[in-house]
A and B are shown apart, each in its own frame.
Chain A
């Protein structure tokens, strides 16, 4: 799998301190990629290439759902480190920047110290919350239109999904579990969509209600989970798929609570 074979050349004599720093850089890279939603095969590949470019002979990474174990080997000396990893939410900006920095190291444009500076200067970029809510509202309305909703229904979906996304971000900032955030967002979206339809806005209540909760589709855990299991990364793959299932269950619970509470059974 090694993308870069260990370069033939002068015998590597990596000082202990340099190897330690390389190990740290590798494990921090793995953590950043894992925490912001990268599939395991890419994480493993990136740290291996980074380590080899920085002069160690081998890099072995064990990637788990909430920790990373990493060993570098140089001159028959091995260094191993473990880091706890917690989910920081999907952030493709950070993933892109880390990956580009690793590619720069591989191309010889950055050395270890330069890479360290680059990593420390990285902060996850976030779009403003109002923009995310509005964009998701429009997304879900387009979904509704694709599924055949009328224009009034699409308007309801914009309102319901934007409110739900705003709530989901707010709840997540208060450090609640994502499961709680998804449950609350599903409840609010279904309530707004269902109650508007109850008041007679639009002729396509089921499509409007179904589209307004689509912001809660756990796309990344699901797709990364499938990628991981098909590539043999069982532990992270299964963990991601279970997480996607739980998020969906939380969403379903929120939807059903709203339907039961507002007596929407006949309408939808």
Chain B
């Protein structure tokens, strides 16, 4: 399997799984049925774009920032058509990019240090996954705010 094919397959897998994930969160936020499709599109765009950026060698934190900003611009574009605020679906759409496993690893390492004292391995794993997770979460939140910060500074989106 060539690198192109495996990248394509990875992209499709990421986009497809993120679609389901974003729609599930959309349902838990009571997003209206007609807007759930935009949750799906945003989820696929975010996770798919991030996968491609990482494949192109961009660090995951910056890739997350760019992907969240892309989702947010999609949100602004759709908001005009929907007559609704973009956050109605963009929040559900970025949730598939939340770094769940690093967050969990950091929590486990910290609590193991609390139980048995710090070891170099635990400190390293707590710092590494904790920093990764914190930066990615911050990148997602700031990424969503990018259109408001740079384009829609003085006028509302809808």
Residues of chain A whose beta carbon lies under 8 Å from any beta carbon of chain B = 1, 3, 37-39, 41-42, 45, 90-96, 99-100, 103, 124-127, 131-132, 135-140, 142-143, 145-147, 165, 206-207, 209-211, 213-215, 217, 219-220, 222-227, 230-231, 252, 255-256, 259, 265, 268
Interface majority SS (helix, strand, loop, mixed), chain A: helix
A143 lies within 8 A of B141 (CB): no
Is residue B148 within 8 Å, beta carbon to beta carbon, of the partner chain?
yes
Tally chain B residues at the interface, Cβ within 8 Å.
54
B158 lies within 8 A of A127 (CB): no
Is residue B95 within 8 Å, beta carbon to beta carbon, of the partner chain?
yes
Q: Which residues of B contact A259 (CB under 8 A)?
A: 108, 111
What is the distance, in angstroms, from B31's C-beta to the closest C-beta of chain A?
A: 4
Q: Which residues of B contact A207 (CB under 8 A)?
A: 101
A226 lies within 8 A of B142 (CB): yes
B91 lies within 8 A of A219 (CB): yes
Which residues of chain B from 59 to 87 have a CB within 8 Å of any chain A CB? 82-85, 87
B32 lies within 8 A of A125 (CB): yes
Interface bits B107-123 vs A (CB < 8 Å: 1, else 0) = 11001100100000000
| Cα of A230 to Cα of B138 in the assembled complex, Å | 12
Is residue B105 within 8 Å, beta carbon to beta carbon, of the partner chain?
yes
Interface majority SS (helix, strand, loop, mixed), chain B: helix
Is residue B126 within 8 Å, beta carbon to beta carbon, of the partner chain?
no
What is the distance, in angstroms, from B91's C-beta to the closest C-beta of chain A?
A: 5
Residues of chain B whose beta carbon lies under 8 Å from any beta carbon of chain A = 14, 17-18, 20-32, 35, 47, 82-85, 87-89, 91-92, 94-96, 98, 100-101, 103-105, 107-108, 111-112, 115, 137-138, 140-142, 144-145, 148-149, 154-156, 158
Select from chain A the residue with minimum beta-carbon distance to B142: A226
A215 lies within 8 A of B28 (CB): yes
Q: Which of B25, B100, B142 contacts A219 (CB 8 A)?
A: B25
B149 lies within 8 A of A96 (CB): no
Q: Which residues of B contact A268 (CB under 8 A)?
A: 108
- CB contact under 8 A between A142 and B101, given known A99-B83, A127-B30, A223-B144: no
| Cα of A97 to Cα of B139 in the assembled complex, Å | 30
- CB contact under 8 A between A146 and B17, given known A219-B95, A227-B148, A256-B111: yes
A223 lies within 8 A of B83 (CB): no
Q: Which of A38, A210, A215 contacts B105 (CB 8 A)?
A: A210
| Cα of A37 to Cα of B100 in the assembled complex, Å | 23
A139 lies within 8 A of B24 (CB): yes
- CB contact under 8 A between A92 and B100, given known A38-B85, A142-B20, A223-B91: no
